[in-house]
Chains A and B, each alone.
Chain A
């Protein structure tokens, strides 16, 4: 089901920060995030691991300093990104990812407090995508790329409606909110859900999220066949990551 938010296509730019190893800026569904990646660099004594690299993720909110919520987001991203980065190739090293949230959609219905302790589901996909793009930009070896999406089940006129990339208002009235991330091989990397739902409902969410993250347009002889029906299902994140990288490479190699 296409939501009004899904019509706004994601936008991304790579290499926006000149002094870091890799960087990316990504905006979608009202969120804008800039990320920088430095690595592999020397790790601090306490973080050093003789077998693998340490992935350090820092999330900085748009205003104020980070609190417990940012620490939780960091730990989620850290464990997910550690899985897709080939950390075993860089023992005793550090790969540092700094994510600066620049813009979040306003919610007209509540007087938003600056410090909020509860989980923010809607921002997770933006953080995830930006981190992956920045890692690609830095040339950090990875097992696979990954993409995340947020899905909410919103009751509307007595029926439950599945909304991809929900707005803050959607999340407020939603029965359940989910964030799922898939690797480019179609494996489930991250699943965070809260609300009230059944196993069957979660199955439906899984389908929707997988379609958004990596619905494989069957490629035949290098030609991508895009069916009209699928094209209306919202952005395909895997394709988006790929085309962003392609255009960056093409721009960098224009002199050849």
Chain B
């Protein structure tokens, strides 16, 4: 008090009964968001969220790839104040180390559909994709370091893992390390001449066999967290996998191990199928603590931030891909939970919103 009177000649200002906007937003976020979403005069002030966006406006996405020099592929994704970095690193898994390893001998005689299915099974059975998510990096105040993984981390990592497998994003062929037996000890490959010279029995021996796999460790680190972790994490995973280049590896029969070439030009790009993009939204209800009734208003907030996520129960995430033939919209995943506002019509309509978002994200990736 002493400093106050000494600093200024006038008496201390009367404590105001009205809050400034930021204080109001912090103290009672729900009424504040409701107020900005439903302005008293919609003709002059449009309906907007606390963060200034329109309800169906997502944050701009920025994607940088190859920023980590030690990883085989990496991507930094930033949407608003949510920043996530993803690094992909390949490690070699010799098949001798896989318990119950069974090779598909008749792989060549299968039709394409079952071949792809088998590839997916391989990825899953031998755990060739290992995503891991780290949120306790001081990215937001609610994640404390040194505690066991929170439910949110476990949920996001399960979703990323499931989606990686269900979308078949990674072609397992790029992860296999083949070896073709050579006749005699001269070390030359016989692929070129096996047709003319080899007998039928020896053909069997000359079948190439899988000696090892690449295991991809996909590590996601949240640098800063401001809501909607899954969209950013998934975009980072896709961008990092597209950026991944694995060194040329071959089986050395003398040393009985896989050797990699260090040459940059021999590195092979990973084959990534499709370009699925996730978009999330949350449903904001008019009533905070009362039972909802028929005729209550609601808003669907695309790409919610941390504060909005805390105010909404019902969420939807849709993963779409328009990368196929004739650019048709294919849905790869829908996850809707926590309420009954989003019915059939709204989910159908949300597919269009997700398609728009797909275009934005794909433009940012290129």
Contacts and interface: CB of A to CB of B under 8 A. Distances in A.
Interface string B297-331: 00000000000000001110000000000001111
Interface in A178-194: 183, 187-194
A239 interface: no
Contacts of B328: 198
A110 interface: yes
B335 interface: yes
Interface stretch (B67-75, B151-159, B178-186, B241-249): B151-159
Interface string A42-73: 00000000011000000000000001110110
Interface string B324-366: 0000111111111111101110011001000000000000000
Contact of B332 (A51, A83, A117, A194): A194
B336 A190 contact: yes
B125 A110 contact: yes
A52 B167 CA distance: 38
A72 B155 contact: yes
Contacts of A69: 158
Contacts, number: 117
A238 B179 CA distance: 57
Contact of A118 (B113, B165, B330, B336): B165
Chain A interface: which size bin? 35 or more
Given A111-B100, A117-B158, A202 B334 contact: yes
Given A51-B289, A119-B158, A187-B340, A71 B331 contact: no
B332 A195 contact: yes
A113 B315 CA distance: 32
B182 to A, nearest CB: 32
Given A88-B291, A188-B343, A75 B334 contact: no
Given A119-B158, A173-B117, A83 B343 contact: no
Contacts of B289: 51-52, 88
Contact of B334 (A72, A83, A191, A203): A191
B158 A68 contact: yes
Given A110-B121, A191-B347, 12 more contacts: A51-B289, A67-B154, A69-B158, A118-B124, A188-B347, A191-B335, A195-B332, A196-B330, A196-B331, A199-B348, A199-B351, A202-B347
29 contacts: A51-B289, A68-B161, A71-B155, A71-B158, A72-B158, A79-B313, A79-B315, A79-B337, A83-B338, A110-B121, A117-B162, A118-B158, A119-B162, A172-B121, A188-B336, A188-B342, A189-B337, A189-B339, A190-B337, A191-B336, A191-B347, A192-B337, A194-B332, A194-B333, A195-B166, A199-B329, A199-B331, A199-B348, A203-B344
Closest 8 CB pairs of A and B: A187-B340, A79-B338, A71-B154, A72-B158, A191-B336, A68-B154, A194-B166, A193-B334
Interface of B: 100, 113, 117, 121, 124-125, 151, 154-155, 157-159, 161-163, 165-167, 289-291, 313-315, 328-340, 342-344, 347-348, 351
